[in-house]
Structure 1
């Protein structure tokens, strides 16, 4: 169950179309976040669309006057920007390690069969990534989610709260199994590699058990990382633009 508070904003009947569009995007993304069939990329794409509306929303003079009093919204924007950036760093490191393993596997014809070094580097990267993600999941709760504010500020806080929910889903997916000992023995004992909770878990499990590496799984995970990162790159730009607008408004 999502932890944010859903609201229906009662704007005047003659309210600006951008306000109505933002409210519609919020409701659409809430539905996507609640649906178990919605993919991570779909949710992140929904965030992209949401922040496009936020940018237009913040350009309205009447909204800028209200937002100029909200330091909490500005602080929240910085935390979300940091989490988005950190997530991209984690994905980049994981992708690099996967490519190193693939590179060795492609050179099998020349007799280079040992991927022990590359697997160890991958697992080390994943262990470090899990620690980073665990910290992000803890820090993300610091984003303000209070409700005692007027409609315009409440809408922006709802945007941030919903962003928190999607980022939580993303970090949990990328982090995969968060075993304290970072051992996948129990995971593999309960599920086959193809049934692991996420694509990240599936590859982790195979490499931890030193099983025969399926190149197709590495390629699929690399492709998935690329897809997620492309959406995050666009979202990062929107978050930067939103924060820049908030800084400009608060400096008036």
Structure 2
């Protein structure tokens, strides 16, 4: 995807721009294209690869935002954006940044809620207060997951609207360098929305369930302790699957609970959530810096 291909056909000597080599148009374009490729490849891995894949995306995206920030801070860009005819582009980017900051904050809130529930369930399993006590905590977790699903669906709708409203102000009268900056901003915003969508899909991973046989049929096909289950569920889905299975056994008084399996999977999920929280925090700081830089252009000291 040639995000900044308009630059290559220009007669403007791009390399004359006084920016570090890593921030030249070719480098930024390559970074954007790599992130787009990563985003497309990771879409299928969200189910299989889980939180680690999304964390990698957040890390690479934060690096991209830092590089774009350096370009925005350069005198050349500052001067171009302060021209009256280009103020609309700054206002457009500011409007987009509000939606991204809100979405990032919402995603972080959902992650923190998830972490709290996982920790509560871990504590309950470690206390070993009897099967009935553990069963009530499992039911509480399952109930939370249903409520979380509704919040996720609502947030995904918001992200869809953001995706449709990413800046489209025409760049007909914009010079080559500024065109590169605006295109990089817009493309990074689109990738950010896509990664937020992947994160929410990760959190809302549906557990496979048949109408006829329910959880017992799934258990026969995919034993909950088998590594093969990793190929069907991500970290969230594995915990959902195990807890629904345990709940079914408790209801039928099939067997006593061995908390070690649940604790092991919850520990893995907890680690993934912590990594996602750290990635969101890093990205949130980048988004805030980016917005402050744009505001400073409109209100210079």
Once residues 289 and 193 of structure 2 are traced to their aligned partners in structure 1, the CA distance between those partners, rounded to angstroms, is 18
Q: Report the alpha carbon displacement of residue 43 of structure 1 after superposing the two structures with TM.
A: 0.9
Identify the residue that residue 57 of structure 2 maps to in structure 1.
Answer: 43
Which is higher, the Rg of structure 1 or of structure 2?
Answer: 2
SS state of the match for residue 69, structure 1?
A: helix
Identify the residue that residue 87 of structure 1 maps to in structure 2.
Answer: 107
Identify the residue that residue 62 of structure 1 maps to in structure 2.
Answer: 76
Q: Report the alpha carbon displacement of residue 5 of structure 1 after superposing the two structures with TM.
A: 8.1
Identify the residue that residue 34 of structure 2 maps to in structure 1.
Answer: 28
Identify the residue that residue 206 of structure 1 maps to in structure 2.
Answer: 242
Identify the residue that residue 78 of structure 1 maps to in structure 2.
Answer: 98
Identify the residue that residue 196 of structure 1 maps to in structure 2.
Answer: 232
Q: TM-score, normalised by structure 2?
A: 0.71
Structure ranking higher in helix proportion: 2
SS state of the match for residue 55, structure 1?
A: helix
Q: TM-score, normalised by structure 1?
A: 0.84
Q: Which runs of 5+ in 1 are unaligned?
A: 178-182
Distance of aligned partners of 1:198 and 1:147 in 2 relative to their CA distance in 1, 3 Å threshold: farther
Over the aligned positions, Cα root-mean-square deviation in angstroms equals: 2.6
Once residues 156 and 150 of structure 2 are traced to their aligned partners in structure 1, the CA distance between those partners, rounded to angstroms, is 10
Once residues 160 and 130 of structure 1 are traced to their aligned partners in structure 2, the CA distance between those partners, rounded to angstroms, is 25
Q: What pairs with 1:1-252 in structure 2 (closer than 5 Å)?
A: 6-10=3-7, 12-15=14-17, 16-17=19-20, 18-20=23-25, 21-36=27-42, 39-64=53-78, 65-66=80-81, 68-70=87-89, 71-108=91-128, 111-113=129-131, 114-143=133-162, 144-145=165-166, 146=168, 148-149=170-171, 150=174, 151=179, 152-177=181-206, 185-186=209-210, 192=222, 193=224, 194=229, 195-209=231-245, 210=247, 212=257, 214=261, 215-252=263-300
Question: In the alignment, is the contact (CA less than 8 A) between 1:147 and 1:154 conserved in 2?
Answer: no
Q: Which runs of 5+ in 2 are unaligned?
A: 9-13, 250-256
Deviations 1:10-41 (A, max 9, x none): 16232333243433321221222132468111
